[in-house]
Structure 1
Amino acid sequence: MNTIRRNAVTHLETVEAPGAMLTRAAARGLAVLRISVGFVFLWAFLDKTFGLGWSTPWERAWINGGSPTKGFLSAVEVGPFQGFFHAIAGDAWTNWSFMLGMLAIGLALIAGVGLRLAAIGTTVMMALMWAAEWPLASGSSNPVMDYHVVYALGAVVLALTYAGHTWGLGRWWAKLPLVQKNRWLI
Structure 2
Amino acid sequence: MPNITKSTEKTFYALALVRISLGFIFLWAFLDKLFGLGFATCRDAQTDAINSMCSRAWAEGGSPTTGFLNNAVQGPFSDLYHNLAGVALVDWLFMGGLLVVGVGLLLGIWVRVAAVIGAIMLFLMWTALLWPENNPFMDDHLVYVFALAAVYFGDTNQKWGLRAWWSQTGLVKVLPLLK
Alignment match, 2:8: 23
Q: Percent identity?
A: 42
Instruction: Provide the alpha-carbon RMSD of the alignment.
Output: 2.1
**Contact residue 47 and residue 53 of structure 1 kept, 8 A:** yes
Select 2:121's aligned residue among 98, 118, 125: 125
- Residues 1:35 and 1:163: Cα distance change in structure 2 (over 3 Å): farther
Structure with higher Rg: it is 1
Q: What SS does the corresponding residue of 2:99 show, helix, strand or coil?
A: helix
Normalising to structure 1: TM-score of the pair? 0.80
C-alpha distance in structure 2 between counterparts of 1:46 and 1:27, whole Å: 28
Judging by fraction of residues, say which structure has more helix.
Answer: 1
What is the aligned length? Answer: 167
C-alpha distance in structure 2 between counterparts of 1:47 and 1:176, whole Å: 31
Select 2:159's aligned residue among 161, 166, 183: 166
Select 1:85's aligned residue among 81, 86, 104: 81
- Residues 1:163 and 1:48: Cα distance change in structure 2 (over 3 Å): farther
Normalising to structure 2: TM-score of the pair? 0.83
Q: Per-residue CA shift, 1:96-149, capped at 9, x if unaligned? A: 1111100110000001111111111011101111111112xx5x1123221111
C-alpha distance in structure 1 between counterparts of 2:59 and 2:99, whole Å: 15
Alignment match, 1:9: none
Select 1:40's aligned residue among 25, 38, 41: 25
Q: Per-residue CA shift, 1:129-186, capped at 9, x if unaligned? A: 1111112xx5x11232211111111112112111773111111222335535654332
**Contact residue 24 and residue 106 of structure 2 kept, 8 A:** yes
